[in-house]
């Protein structure tokens, strides 16, 4: 089962990713090109991660896994809150992180995106 440290390490391996605490001292935000693609509460007893997601895929994931819910405090159409409790396979959660990162990266200005990818 993934832990917060695993998620941090995985996200840190992606090009251009920075960690930030823009809201408070416990909400860890992962950004690429200054835009959020993942966030989690580092003080929570249960690990949840908010991830950006294609609206159609969001519906499929929510139907497949009760641990995937509309994004808490986020746009419910474009964000999911994923409970990381061992029920969803780790590789599936990592794919969700990849998808979120890719969605945000592709929406960045072309010059910013290219500078990240070519760094």
DSSP string, 56-96: HHHHHHHHH-TTEEEPTTS-TTTEEEEE-SSSS-HHHHHHH
Instruction: Specify the pLDDT at position 69.
Output: 98
- Encode pLDDT of 14-44 as tens digits: 999 999 999 999 999 999 999 999 999 999 9
- Whether the predicted model's global pTM rises above the 0.85 cut: yes
Q: Are 42 and 5 in contact (CB under 8 A)?
A: no
pLDDT over 70 for what percent of the chain? 100
Residue in the block written with tokens 């819910």: 69
């Amino acid at each position: 089962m993934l832990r917060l440290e695993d998620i941090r390490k995985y996200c840190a391996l992606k090009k251009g990713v920075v960690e930030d605490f823009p809201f408070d001292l416990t909400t860890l935000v992962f950004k690429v090109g200054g835009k959020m693609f993942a966030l989690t509460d580092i003080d929570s007893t249960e690990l949840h991660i908010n991830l950006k997601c294609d609206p159609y895929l969001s519906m499929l994931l929510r139907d497949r896994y009760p641990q995937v819910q509309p994004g808490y405090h986020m746009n419910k159409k474009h964000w999911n809150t994923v409970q990381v409790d061992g029920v969803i396979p780790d590789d599936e959660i990592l794919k969700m992180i990849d998808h979120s990162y890719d969605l945000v990266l592709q929406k960045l200005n072309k010059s910013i995106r290219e500078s990240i990818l070519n760094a």
